[in-house]
Amino acid sequence: MKHEPTDERKVLVQGAIALVMSLVTGGLGFLLLFMLRDLVVALLMHSDISRWAWQAIDNFALIIFVIFWLSGVLVAQHYYTQGLRKGVAGRRFLLVTGVLFVLFFIVAALPGFLGMGDFAGSIWALIAVTGVIGLGLIYLGRRPSVRRQDRS
């Protein structure tokens, strides 16, 4: 007798894999959330907005970023679950992770582009590597699968 997994076990394993993927995405998104908050603080320090309004703007921006982060994690969980059912979860994970890395690049490079930071060459190299990794992951996630090419 050969032991084959039941549908219930398969659904449980797929749910666990989707949970791990969404935890990784959520962790990266959480780091991005604090990078965005630092960007808002840096923009406030270089703006003409009254110092008395800084804390309110910072708190409101943090609440908005947390709402977007939580929404993103929930959407990613559903996206990964559907991807596991269709057999494309790995590509979807690469795509979402690549988008997060590109957002890291944008958030990290923006102060330098606006002249608000004193970046050394090594920092620019790390920022550029982040962007290249993100674009590479997006490329791998968007690349057609080998099975689809064989059918053609």
Residues 6+ apart with CB under 8 A from 148: none
The pLDDT of residue 4? 57
The residue to which tokens 């406030």 are assigned: 44
Verdict on whether the full-model pTM lies above 0.85? no
The pLDDT of residue 3? 57
Per residue in 86-118, pLDDT (tens digit) is 888 899 999 999 999 999 999 988 888 887 766
Report the first-to-last Cα separation within the chain, whole angstroms. Answer: 38
Per residue in 14-33, pLDDT (tens digit) is 888 988 999 999 999 999 99
The pLDDT of residue 30? 95
Question: Confidence band (pLDDT; 50, 70, 90) for 51?
Answer: confident
Per residue in 57-76, pLDDT (tens digit) is 999 999 999 999 999 999 99
Is the Cβ–Cβ distance between 111 and 42 less than 8 Å?
yes
